[in-house]
Structure 1
Amino acid sequence: MCTAVRFVDNNNNLYFGRNLDVLQSYGQKVMVTPRNYHIPMKHIEDMTTSKALMGMGITAGDYPLYFDVANENGLANRQKAPTATAKEKEKK
């Protein structure tokens, strides 16, 4: 489970933070992947990032493995456990 906080200041700037509630360390650290970073793949076509990324994660070889990440436009990922469920929004 993660704990998150989100607020908007008087200038309408949005701030968001979240922690990783895990008791074991994986050597995670703040990571930055630059724009146009080439990532070679073994079983699928290679990829190149179109946006810079910043978040928390680990590096395995030359592969950035993020636990939580946002791109340079502020778009964040959402990890969903296979056992998690979401209710559909009720129509009014």
Structure 2
Amino acid sequence: MKVELFSAGCRLCQRAEEMLQHHFPQVDWIIHRAAECRDGSCCALAEQYGVRAVPSLVVDGQVVLVGLPGPQELARLREVLSRGASR
């Protein structure tokens, strides 16, 4: 399972990153931070996935979360990520 987080590095994105890593420590995170993308590859990848806002979480090429997750989103993510881990 490939889990990618797209981030602008703002406070909201940082908070989402910390929250997701806290709730899902077993996940091998790939984090695409706008400030670290020098060659435009992150933007091209975001466009390929259909990412239109950050923070955005992409699992196996599908956008599954946009913005800061609340309790309902965390519960849904727990299901999505546990299914992927059991493959």
Q: Assess same fold via TM > 0.5.
A: no
TM-score, structure 1 normalization: 0.29
Which protein has the larger Cα radius of gyration, Structure 1 or Structure 2? 1
TM-score, structure 2 normalization: 0.30
Kindly indicate which of the two structures has a greater share of residues assigned to helix.
2
Kindly indicate which of the two structures has a greater share of residues assigned to strand.
1
| Structure with the larger RCO, 1 or 2 (CA within 8 Å, 6+ apart) | 2
